[in-house]
C-alpha cells in the first residue's frame, strides 16, 4: 500500500509499505478515507521529537471504513464508518478506569524511552515516533487499530466525513482543555493559538457557558475563522498589547481560564522569540514556551492554565514564581479521546460543533509532501490539509 513516510528532518515521501495485518484478537484493519495534518506533526518533521526512524508512517487523526476485525471485536463490523482516537488505550487498566486514556498502561508497547524522559510512560499514539509506541500512522491507505472496541467509534449517518474527522484529535483535544481547565458558566477564557485545536478549545468554552472567549493569534485568516465559525472574540498579538487587553476585557483581573494551544514551536514578536529559538536549535532547550509564559502572566490570581500544545522535554525561563505566588492551577495532558468522542459526535450531529471550515486544503495522499509544506509555511490560508488515500 501507499503511505507518507518520514525520511529525515524536513523530508517526506510517499512510498510503498507492507499492508497492515491483525496482530491481536482485539485489532481491526481500517481503510483510511480521510486523514489530516496536525501541528504536532510539524515537531516530528523538524526533528524536535526524538526516536523517529526513516520510513516511519506519519499521521494520527483519521476516519475510515472497517475492512477486517479480530475475533474479540464486538462493537464493529466490516463496512462500519468509524472515527478513531489518536491515542491508543486498552480500556481496562487503572488509568482507563479513571478515564485518563492517554495515560493507559498498555497502549504504548515501547514505554522504556518515555519512562527515561519523563519518569513514566504515556500511552501510544499513531504515527508519533517510537517513544510513543512506534505505531504506523494514518497517512496511508490502511491502518491497524489495536483495542478497536475501545478506540474506534461509529459515525452517525448525519455527520459528514469532514466533520467527523476532527473528532479524532483536534475537537477532543480542544474540549479536554476547556473541560479539565475548569471552564464554568460566566468565565472569561483566553486561548493562545487559532489553529484547529485552539478553535475547538474556544468553541468548547463557548458551549460550556463562558461569558467571554478570546482567541489570540497573528494570522488574519485564522482569526476570521474564529469570529465566523466559533463565536469568539479575537486578538492579534502583533497588533495589540495582549496582556493589557485581556485585563480590560475581564474586569481588570485577567482571564479565569487560560488555554495554551500552540506548543513547543511557539512564535512571538518580542526578543524572547529569538532567544528561545536559538536555544532550541542549539538543543540547549527542547521547547519554546513563549505562549505558556504569556498565559501564566495573563491569568488572574487563583485562575487556571491548561497546556494543550505538545512539549517534549525542558524549557528555560519558566515563570515558576508567578505560578506559585499567583496561586495558579496548571494542568496539561495528551488528549483522552475515548472520553470525549461519543459526546462530540452527538454535538456534531446536532450542529452545535462544526469543523468543516478547518479543512482548508483537500488533496490526494500522493500530494501529501506538498500538503505538509503549505501547512508548515501557512501558505494560501492553510489551516489543515486533508489527505484522501
Q: Of the ranges 38-47, 174-183, 359-368, which one carries the lowest mean pLDDT score?
A: 38-47
The DSSP letter of residue 302 is T
Q: Write the DSSP symbol of residue 358.
A: G
Out of 187-201, 213-227, 279-293, pick the least confident. 279-293
pLDDT in tens, 239-252: 999 999 999 999 99
Q: Which among 170, 192, 280, 271 has a CA at the least distance from the CA of 236?
A: 192
Neighbour-count burial of 224, counting CB atoms closer than 10 A to its CB (0-12 exposed, 13-18 middle, 19+ buried): middle
Q: Is the pLDDT of residue 72 over 60?
A: yes
- Contact criterion met (CB below 8 Å) for 85 and 101: yes
What integer is the mean pLDDT of 67-89?
98
Residue 316 confidence (pLDDT): 78
- Per-residue pLDDT tens over the stretch 143-164: 999 999 999 999 999 999 999 9
Instruction: Label residues 260-297 b or e (16+ Cβ within 10 Å = b).
Output: bbbbbbbbbeeebeebbbebbeeeebbbbbbbbbbbbb
Residue 266 has pLDDT above 70, yes or no: no
Which residue pairs from 346-354 have beta carbons closer than 8 angstroms and sit at least 24 positions apart in sequence? 346/156, 347/207, 348/156, 348/159, 348/163, 348/164, 348/167, 349/156, 349/158, 349/159, 352/207, 353/171, 353/200, 353/203, 353/207, 354/163, 354/229
Q: What is the CA radius of gyration of the chain?
A: 20
Q: What angle (nearest 5°) sits at the alpha carbon of residue 122, between those of residues 120 and 125? A: 150
* pLDDT reported for residue 270: 67
Is the predicted pLDDT of residue 278 greater than 60, yes or no?
A: no
Average pLDDT over residues 291-319: 91
CA–CA dist 30, 15 (Å, integer): 19
User: Any idea which residue has 522535554 for its cell?
Assistant: 313
315-351: pLDDT as tens digits: 878 899 999 999 999 999 999 999 999 999 999 999 9
- Confidence (pTM): 0.94
pLDDT at 280 over 80: no
- The confidence score (pLDDT) of residue 286 equals 61
pLDDT band at 314 (very low <50, low <70, confident <90, very high): confident
pLDDT at position 376 over 60: yes
337: part of which helix (H) or strand (E)?
Answer: helix 337-349
Q: How many CB atoms within 10 Å of residue 373?
A: 16
Is the per-residue pLDDT at 234 higher than 90?
A: yes
pLDDT value at position 219?
95
pLDDT digits (tens, 9 = 90+) for 175-199: 999 999 999 999 999 999 999 999 9
Residue 89: pLDDT band by 50, 70, 90 thresholds?
A: very high
Amino acid at each position: 500500500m501507499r503511505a507518507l513516510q518520514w525520511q529525515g528532518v524536513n523530508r517526506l515521501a510517499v512510498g510503498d509499505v507492507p499492508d497492515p495485518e491483525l496482530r491481536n484478537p482485539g485489532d481491526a484493519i481500517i481503510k483510511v478515507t480521510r486523514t489530516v495534518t496536525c501541528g504536532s506533526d510539524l515537531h516530528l518533521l523538524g526533528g524536535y521529537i526524538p526516536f523517529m526512524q526513516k520510513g516511519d508512517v506519519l499521521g494520527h487523526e483519521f476516519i475510515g471504513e472497517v475492512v477486517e476485525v479480530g475475533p474479540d471485536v464486538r462493537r464493529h463490523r466490516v463496512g462500519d464508518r468509524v472515527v478513531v482516537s489518536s491515542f491508543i488505550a486498552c480500556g481496562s487498566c487503572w488509568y482507563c478506569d479513571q478515564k485518563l486514556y492517554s495515560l493507559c498502561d498498555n497502549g504504548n508497547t515501547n514505554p522504556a524511552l518515555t519512562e527515561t524522559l519523563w519518569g513514566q510512560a504515556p500511552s501510544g499514539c499513531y504515527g508519533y515516533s517510537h517513544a510513543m509506541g512506534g505505531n504506523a500512522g494514518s497517512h496511508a491507505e490502511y491502518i491497524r487499530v489495536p483495542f478497536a472496541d475501545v478506540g474506534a467509534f461509529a459515525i452517525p449517518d448525519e455527520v459528514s466525513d469532514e466533520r467527523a474527522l476532527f473528532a479524532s484529535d483536534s475537537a477532543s483535544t480542544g474540549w479536554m482543555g476547556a473541560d479539565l481547565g475548569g471552564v464554568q458558566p460566566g468565565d472569561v477564557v483566553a486561548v493562545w493559538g487559532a489553529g484547529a485545536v485552539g478553535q475547538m478549545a474556544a468553541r468548547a468554552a463557548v458551549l460550556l457557558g463562558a461569558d467571554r472567549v478570546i482567541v489570540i493569534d497573528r494570522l488574519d485568516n485564522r482569526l476570521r475563522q474564529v469570529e465566523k465559525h466559533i463565536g469568539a472574540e479575537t486578538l492579534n498579538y502583533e497588533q495589540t498589547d495582549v496582556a493589557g487587553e485581556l485585563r480590560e476585557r475581564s474586569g481588570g483581573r485577567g482571564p479565569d481560564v487560560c488555554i495554551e494551544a500552540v506548543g513547543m514551536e511557539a512564535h512571538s514578536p518580542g526578543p524572547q522569540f529569538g532567544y528561545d529559538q536559538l536555544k532550541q536549535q542549539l538543543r540547549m532547550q527542547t521547547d519554546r514556551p513563549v505562549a505558556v509564559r504569556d498565559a501564566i502572566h495573563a491569568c488572574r490570581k487563583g485562575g487556571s492554565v491548561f497546556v494543550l500544545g505538545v512539549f517534549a522535554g525542558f524549557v528555560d525561563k519558566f515563570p515558576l514564581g508567578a505560578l506559585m505566588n499567583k496561586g495558579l492551577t496548571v494542568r496539561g495532558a495528551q488528549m483522552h479521546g475515548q472520553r470525549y468522542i461519543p459526546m462530540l459526535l452527538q454535538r456534531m450531529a446536532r450542529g452545535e460543533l462544526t469543523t468543516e471550515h478547518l479543512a482548508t486544503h483537500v488533496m490526494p495522499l500522493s500530494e501529501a509532501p506538498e500538503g505538509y509544506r503549505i501547512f508548515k509555511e501557512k501558505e494560501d490560508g492553510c489551516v489543515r490539509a486533508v489527505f484522501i488515500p
